[in-house]
Amino acid sequence: MNAIQNKKVNYRDLKEAEYLSTWELQEKLLNSIIDIKLKNKHIPSDEHFLPTSNYFLFVSHPHIFTLGKNGDFQNLLINENQLKGINAQFVKTNRGGDITYHGPGQIVGYPILDLENFFTDIHKYMRYLEEVIIKTVEHYGVKGERSKGETGVWIDSGKPFARKICAMGVKASRWVTMHGFALNVNSDLKYFNYIVPCGIKNKAVTSLEKELGYKLDVEEVKQQIKNNFSEIFDVEWID
């Protein structure tokens, strides 16, 4: 028989952690899920077996610019010495999307899900992630929107002063996801001046703090994201 869908999600808040060590952890968790999936294929069809696991990581990274696997290096507007001057790093990564920035005051979420426990549709997965963030910023009175042909969540999409509040980029292997989203909460937005964010020219970046005029409680925003993720993906958290 087919494996039972497992919508239990192991939740971990890493607080503050280096990008590379977190990337390594994601790879480790993804590979552990794939190993279980491959082993399950060899179990006779009349035997019941435990389905694979799912994970969700929250983290904040030190200043770093990351470039997606198909991104354009020219979208990094400063050189190595200038990176040192602003206490930032640069790394090429294996997610989709172009270049983005991670830093303090930003909530980064990494869902490591076996989509065979949910739905095998990456486009739908991205739209669900966007909906999580749209509902989260709506809680604070900010209207988040999608922008046609552009992944992520925007404010005033389609208008001359459209600005991005949440960037997204993922990777999937054997229907297991990694990487995810970065929501600007109390971010220092000057760091986005050193890149062409997501490779999209002539569009601004914003944060909840900039839109609302005050700093937010990051832990409270995380809880809102977690609540909305639970509702939209119909998950059961394992803390």
Torsion sign over Cα 209, 211, 213, 219: negative
Amino acid occupying residue 225 = I
Question: How far is residue 190 from each of residues 200, 206, 207, 226, measured CA to CA in Å?
Answer: 17, 10, 11, 28
**Whole-angstrom Cα distance, residue 2 to residue 52?**
12
Give yes or no: 198 in active site.
yes
Residue 154 near residue 164, CB atoms below 8 Å: yes
Which is the catalytic residue, given 112, 126, 178, 198? 198
String of DSSP letters for 114-154 = BGGGT-S-HHHHHHHHHHHHHHHHHHTT--EEEETTEEEEE
Closest CA to 65 of 27, 92, 26: 92
Q: Please, are residues 189 and 206 in contact by the beta-carbon 8 Å criterion? A: yes
Closest CA to 101 of 122, 119, 83: 83
Among 194, 213, 217, 224, which Cα is nearest to 65's?
A: 194
Choose among 174, 162, 167, 237: nearest CA to 204: 162
Which residues carry out catalysis? 198
